[in-house]
Each structure stands twice: as structure tokens, then as C-alpha cells.
Amino acid sequence: MRAKELRMLTDAELRARLEEARRELFVLRQDWYMNRLQDNNRITAVKRDIARILTILRERELARQMEQGGAQ
């Protein structure tokens, strides 16, 4: 999913997507270890999705801190 699309979601929706992505990564890694994985590139894509979601959540957290009077 693109970052532009993720930025339109609420924090709760992002956290739900993050949990889904982490579960998917877990299953993909299990499949990889058991030689059942068909698309190895999917692991990389899911890892990048997780990183995007975490980045957006962190940006929002920092923005809230700045609104409250600077970094604490």
C-alpha cells in the first residue's frame, strides 16, 4: 500500500493494518522455512509496508508533541 493512501487512515486503522501486516509476515516466514513460499518478494513487500506504517505513526506522534509545546 502506498504511503499516500496510508496517510488518509486514522491511527486506529493504521494500528490494525500494522497488526495484520505483522501476522502476515509471521506466516510468510513460516512458509519460507518450510519451503512452501511461492513468492519470496512478498516478504520484502510486507516488511516495507510495516516500515511505512511505523513511519507515519511516528510522524503523527512527533507532530502532536510539537503542538503541545516542543519535543519532550
CATH number at residue 9: 1.10.287.310
Is residue 52, in this structure, part of any structural domain at all? yes
pTM: 0.89
Domain containing residue 38? 3-67
Is residue 56, in this structure, part of any structural domain at all? yes
DSSP line for 15-62? HHHHHHHHHHHHHHHHHHHTT--S-THHHHHHHHHHHHHHHHHHHHHH
Domains identified in the chain, total number = 1
Tens digit of each residue's pLDDT (9 = 90 or more) over 15-72: 999 999 999 999 999 999 999 999 999 999 999 999 999 999 999 999 999 999 865 5
Is residue 41, in this structure, part of any structural domain at all? yes
Is residue 58, in this structure, part of any structural domain at all? yes
Is residue 72, in this structure, part of any structural domain at all? no
